[in-house]
Amino acid sequence: MEGARAVVTQTLDSSSAEEKADYGVIKEKIRIDLKRYIQKNTSRRPLIMPVILEI
């Protein structure tokens, strides 16, 4: 779980302000990066559904 959290953090850190402002773009980037991470570690193809909450 810590590895997945690190992947999301790294994705957010490497994203531009414009990408962070667009929910669709940032959700897709997170989904792709998490899928790649989980597939590499488990040799399975996960279904990733990111949920972003605005606080």
Q: Write down the pTM of the prediction.
A: 0.78
Domain ranges within the chain, ordered by starting residue = 2-42
pLDDT of residue 11: 94
pLDDT of residue 51: 82
pLDDT in tens, the chain (55 residues): 889 999 999 999 999 999 888 888 999 999 999 999 999 999 988 888 888 877 7
Q: Which of 46, 48, 54 is nearest to 22 (CA)?
A: 54
Euclidean distance between the first and the last CA atom of the chain, given in angstroms as a whole number: 23
Q: Distances in Å between the alpha carbon of 20 and those of 25, 39, 42, 55?
A: 8, 25, 29, 14
pLDDT of residue 36: 93
